[in-house]
Chain A
């Protein structure tokens, strides 16, 4: 039973008071250019997720608290949460730099494009 802390209202509690919402930073193509979405793009959006051993980035909701969604960085090996951050934010820079595999590539591009999530 993990302990989760909501960065919006500060509520801390058992993971059963929260709702896990899968991988963070998934871009929904239809919100941007609904008329021009390739099958590959749509496939990636729907089905392709990272599964790293180590640092991972996730969405959570403060289900039994303020009801707001937020992001979390968590080590999938030790289950330790490294950071909680806003739903419209990127993780702390040092975590983006520590990220591996597809996450490293993702954050590199994001940082290159400016930090707007």
Chain B
């Protein structure tokens, strides 16, 4: 899953080092447009329903946080 998530993220924002960034939201690295694109791709790719309620910084600050979010949504 990690590779697929990383591929999606890099496709949307190729200029970000997703492997090492841990403050993607706190430091305003990801914009709201990126978040919408990321969620839309996650929903399609992993057949999950990430909703507005999941849009908290903790879920999008890092690659690991996003993987955890998808795993939780799959439960």
Physical interaction between A and B: no
Q: A residues near B, CB below 8 A?
A: none
